[in-house]
Amino acid sequence: MDFELSEDEAALAAGIRSLCAGRFPLDRLRAAEGGAGLLDTEAWSELAEAGVFSLQVPEAAGGVGLGMAAGAVVFEELGRALVPGPVLASHLAAGIVDGAAEGKVVVGAVRRPAPTGTGALVPTLIGHLSSLGVLVVVGEDGLSAVDPDELEAVALARSLDPLTPLWRVDRLPVGRPIGGVEEARAWRRGQCVLGGALLVGLAAGTMELAVAYAKQREQFGKPIGSFQAVKHMCADMLVAAETARAAVHAAAVTIDQPGVGDPDRAAAGAGLLAAEAAIKNGKISIQVHGGMGFTWEVPAHLYLMRARVLAQEIGPVDDLAELVAKLY
């Protein structure tokens, strides 16, 4: 299988990367860190205008009409740029929840039951739950829509993701049915593949951060990147990111082309590899940065903490590993 991007896919990636560089530069992210949220309605509208949410909606319904493979390309760039907020849920809800594709309604999502058994974590656009228009609850028996006003939620005083406000919901209302078993399975597949693409972007971004530092930081009169141990760590990061990227793109093609393989198995495997790569690379990046890596001065923690939250959202990792084993 050829994993090189086509000319159109490369142009799509370049366009999203340019949008992210202009709208979400790292210094702006750092300035908003730990605040009430970075995204506002204007930024959300720009993402919608770029087709981030309507990418897989058919053209006849006003969408872009592309497939999961194009979605993986877009979401990798969003992950690399640390774009915060419930972008994944809003994308998956396009075509199911009115207004999601156009960015008029911000959609959050949780699993039923919560994967940790200690409550569901709900990411929001800004620092209050009412910034969500709809909360989609994904269960084994289907999808349901819940009005955020019905939730009994507690804001996390110190968010696990410094760029995205998170709320803990201990009890999920029944909600209004908006999809059956097949729609829930499709949601879970998309969550693994596109969430995996976000994680691949994180794995690549944190690797680039470490490599740039290894070239710049000198010890004993030489860049630390010239030392074999650091070279090996950076090489391990590259292998992890590229392996995960291949798995995500393969899963996306499997979904786009029915009959190629088992889409559920491919999606679960992609999510698993991507989560492991993003968390591993986040840890190694902190190690490459040495003592500075453990301080707020270096943004490596943003990648690692986002990776942990996303891994929990699409998995968690142990659940994905069990699912892969079961499907094999």
Tell me the C-alpha to C-alpha distance, in Å, between residue 298 and each of 131, 144, 302, 308, 309: 30, 40, 9, 18, 19
For the segment 247-270, the average pLDDT, to the nearest whole number, is: 93
The predicted pLDDT at position 85 comes to 86
**Using CA atoms, how far apart are residues 285 and 201, in angstroms rounded to an integer?**
14
- Residue 112 has which token pair? 């039923």
For the segment 162-177, the average pLDDT, to the nearest whole number, is: 85
**Is the pLDDT score of 116 beyond 50?**
no
For residues 181 and 192, is the Cβ–Cβ distance under 8 A? no
For the segment 186-194, the average pLDDT, to the nearest whole number, is: 96
* Max mean pLDDT range (39-48, 67-76, 115-124, 315-324): 67-76
For the segment 226-241, the average pLDDT, to the nearest whole number, is: 97
For the segment 22-43, the average pLDDT, to the nearest whole number, is: 76
- Angle, helix 300-314 to helix 181-216, in steps of 10 degrees: 160
3-class secondary structure, 140: coil
For residues 70 and 57, is the Cβ–Cβ distance under 8 A? no
Q: Which amino acid is at 242?
A: E
For the segment 131-146, the average pLDDT, to the nearest whole number, is: 92
For the segment 257-261, the average pLDDT, to the nearest whole number, is: 87
What percentage of the chain has pLDDT greater than the value 90? 64
The larger pLDDT score, comparing residue 58 to residue 6, is at 58
- Residue 83 has which token pair? 């774009």
The predicted pLDDT at position 26 comes to 87
For the segment 134-141, the average pLDDT, to the nearest whole number, is: 92
Lowest-pLDDT choice from 34-38, 242-246, 252-256, 317-321: 34-38
**Is the pLDDT score of 189 beyond 70?**
yes
**Using CA atoms, how far apart are residues 236 and 245, in angstroms rounded to an integer?**
14
- Full set of structural domains in the chain with CATH: 7-180 (1.10.540.10), 182-327 (1.20.140.10)
User: How many CB atoms are closer than 10 A to CB 143?
Assistant: 25
Phi then psi for residue 110, to 5 deg, are -140, 160
Tell me the C-alpha to C-alpha distance, in Å, between residue 278 and each of 90, 111, 163, 308, 312: 22, 22, 17, 8, 12
Q: How far is CA 269 from the centre of its chain?
A: 16
The larger pLDDT score, comparing residue 288 to residue 291, is at 288
Query: Which pLDDT band holds residue 118 (cuts at 50, 70, 90)?
Result: low
**Using CA atoms, how far apart are residues 215 and 223, in angstroms rounded to an integer?**
5
Give the predicted TM-score (pTM) of the model: 0.93
Pairing of strands 218-219, 222-223: antiparallel
Going 312 to 242 to 65 to 40, the CA torsion angle's sign is: positive
**Is the pLDDT score of 236 beyond 90?**
yes
Query: Which pLDDT band holds residue 119 (cuts at 50, 70, 90)?
Result: low
For the segment 181-197, the average pLDDT, to the nearest whole number, is: 96
Pairing of strands 166-169, 153-155: antiparallel
- Give the H or E element holding residue 183: helix 181-216
